[in-house]
């Protein structure tokens, strides 16, 4: 393909984006071309857009717009000139002496001045042209004014194009918002159903545990003192589970609205350790001092519980879990880390595991939604979450929360 053909393709594509060739003349362009005629003090003016085959007069002053073959166009002959072309009498210029717009076949042009229409990307799409059937001259001030008007033609074309693009973007955004509202409504309905399905049996379990505890307290407290303690822990765990279910479902329904207040992560970790007593059996757990942060305590407990449970779960064959929970301040934010010595997560998988239902090791039980929930909670707090390799070759799961 030749350079000329490539240039024509680019020009035609740009003209097509402006969408003016096939539409009625725009009033703003007509007004501008009338001003051009007044500035040059001539009776005739036009805005020409030149495609690969034709010249289209999209706005005119002093005559009716028309379309002609590109080879008949006067402006096409000087479209690539480095500067505006201003001729007192075009019939005396070799480039136009035989042109049908000069010879009388189409027109009787004598005075002729043309200024390129150059887009912001540098594509010349046509000209602003003023002319007369009588020879004449214009001043430098008039020529400069015509050049400014040619620039304004492109500005108007660009403004309308960007307005259309913005309108299309707004329309797409409205469609996305409509879809988001629909999805949120479905999520709310799903959350309500899950709440019903989970809350009812959990309530029944809690009631049964309390009744059993009361019965033991009355009849067998002395004979089975350890059983009373175990029941108390079970009732406490069921209560925390009920709170976790209620808050997580509320979080889903409200689209991330959190109950923010100071949260002592040391106290949260004590609850997490209690809840995970079975999962952490035999494991070495080191909990370094943790900060007080601002956030939703139940949501943040869900994050810590999920990360610690994962660290205890994904161990190397034949080894017990070794988990360290620590925190440090970085760039005005608290970074909480759960470090293990387990099997690790390959670097190429560390981003994917935060996607819904993504799993790395199918041999270990799990739903694949825990880390997705963690990411949503942390991001709702204005923070970040990620995985990296720990010094012992396992995984460091970290999340970062703003200090305030």
- pLDDT tens for 186-207 read 666 666 666 656 666 667 677 7
Percent of the chain with pLDDT over 90: 43
pLDDT for residue 364 is more than 70: no
pLDDT digits (tens, 9 = 90+) for 124-138: 999 999 999 999 999
**Can you read off the two tokens belonging to residue 328?**
């440090």
What pLDDT is attached to residue 399? Answer: 92
| Burial of 380 (C-beta count, 10 Å sphere; 0-12/13-18/19+) | middle
How much is the mean pLDDT over the chain? 83
Q: For residues 267 and 283, give the distance between their C-alpha atoms in angstroms, rounded to a whole number.
A: 20
**Can you read off the two tokens belonging to residue 103?**
């010879």
Judged by average pLDDT, the poorest of 27-41, 146-160, 190-204 is 190-204
Q: For residues 200 and 202, give the distance between their C-alpha atoms in angstroms, rounded to a whole number.
A: 5
pLDDT for residue 88 is more than 70: yes
pLDDT digits (tens, 9 = 90+) for 51-72: 999 999 999 999 999 999 999 9
Give me the CATH code for the 174-257 domain, please. 1.10.287
What pLDDT is attached to residue 368? Answer: 45
pLDDT (average), residues 223-246: 67
> Domain extents for the chain?
3-138, 174-257, 259-402
pLDDT for residue 221 is more than 70: no
CA 255 to chain centre: 18
What pLDDT is attached to residue 347? Answer: 73
Domains 174-257 and 259-402 share a fold: no
Q: Which residue has the higher pLDDT, 395 or 210?
A: 395
What pLDDT is attached to residue 403? Answer: 73
| Burial of 132 (C-beta count, 10 Å sphere; 0-12/13-18/19+) | buried
Highest CATH level, class, for 259-402: alpha beta
Report the b/e string of 293-332 with b at 16+ CB within 10 A: bbbbbbbbbbbbbbbbbbbbbbbeeeeebbbbbbbeeeee
250: pLDDT confidence band, cut at 50, 70 and 90?
Answer: low
In sign, the C-alpha dihedral spanning 83, 84, 85, 87 is negative
What pLDDT is attached to residue 223? Answer: 57
pLDDT (average), residues 212-220: 65
Q: For residues 73 and 71, give the distance between their C-alpha atoms in angstroms, rounded to a whole number.
A: 6
The topology under which CATH files domain 3-138 is Beta-Lactamase (3.30.450)
**In terms of pTM, does the model score above 0.75?**
no
Q: Which residue has the higher pLDDT, 390 or 88?
A: 88
Judged by average pLDDT, the poorest of 26-30, 200-204, 308-312 is 200-204
Q: Which residue has the higher pLDDT, 331 or 110?
A: 110
């Amino acid at each position: 393909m030749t350079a000329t053909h490539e240039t024509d393709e680019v020009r035609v594509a740009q003209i097509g984006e402006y969408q003016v060739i096939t539409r009625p003349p725009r009033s703003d362009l007509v007004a501008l071309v009338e001003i051009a005629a007044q500035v040059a003090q001539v009776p005739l003016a036009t805005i020409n857009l030149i495609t690969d085959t034709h010249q289209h007069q999209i706005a005119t002053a002093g005559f009716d717009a028309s379309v002609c073959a590109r080879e008949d166009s006067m402006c096409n002959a000087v479209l690539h000139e480095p500067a505006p072309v201003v001729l007192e009498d075009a019939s005396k210029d070799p480039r136009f002496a035989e042109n049908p717009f000069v010879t009388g076949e189409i027109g009787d042009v004598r005075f002729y001045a043309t200024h390129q229409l150059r887009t912001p990307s540098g594509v010349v799409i046509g000209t602003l042209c003023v002319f007369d059937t009588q020879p004449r001259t214009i001043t430098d001030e008039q020529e400069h004014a015509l050049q400014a008007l040619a620039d304004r033609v492109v500005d108007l074309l660009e403004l309308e194009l960007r307005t259309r693009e913005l309108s299309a973007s707004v329309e797409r955004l409205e469609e996305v918002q409509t879809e988001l509202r629909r999805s949120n409504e479905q999520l709310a309905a799903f959350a309500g159903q899950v709440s019903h399905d989970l809350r009812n049996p959990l309530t029944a379990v809690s009631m049964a545990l309390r009744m059993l505890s009361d019965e033991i307290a009355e009849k067998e407290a002395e004979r089975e003192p350890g059983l009373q303690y175990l029941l108390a822990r079970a009732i406490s765990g069921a209560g925390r589970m009920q709170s976790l279910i209620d808050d997580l479902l509320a979080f889903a329904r409200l689209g991330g609205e959190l109950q923010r207040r100071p949260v002592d992560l040391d106290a949260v970790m004590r609850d997490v350790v209690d809840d995970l007593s079975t999962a952490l059996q035999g494991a070495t757990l080191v909990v370094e001092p943790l900060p007080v942060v601002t956030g939703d305590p139940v949501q943040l407990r869900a994050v810590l519980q999920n990360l610690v449970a994962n660290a205890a779960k994904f161990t190397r064959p034949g080894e017990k879990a070794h988990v360290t929970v620590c925190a440090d301040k970085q760039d005005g934010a608290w970074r909480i880390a759960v470090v293990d010595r387990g099997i690790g997560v390959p670097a190429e998988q560390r981003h994917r595991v935060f996607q819904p239902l993504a799993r790395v090791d199918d041999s270990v039980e799990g739903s694949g939604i825990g880390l997705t929930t963690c990411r949503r909670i942390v991001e709702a707090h204005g923070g970040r979450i990620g995985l990296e390799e720990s010094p012992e070759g396992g995984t460091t799961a970290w999340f970062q929360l703003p200090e305030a």
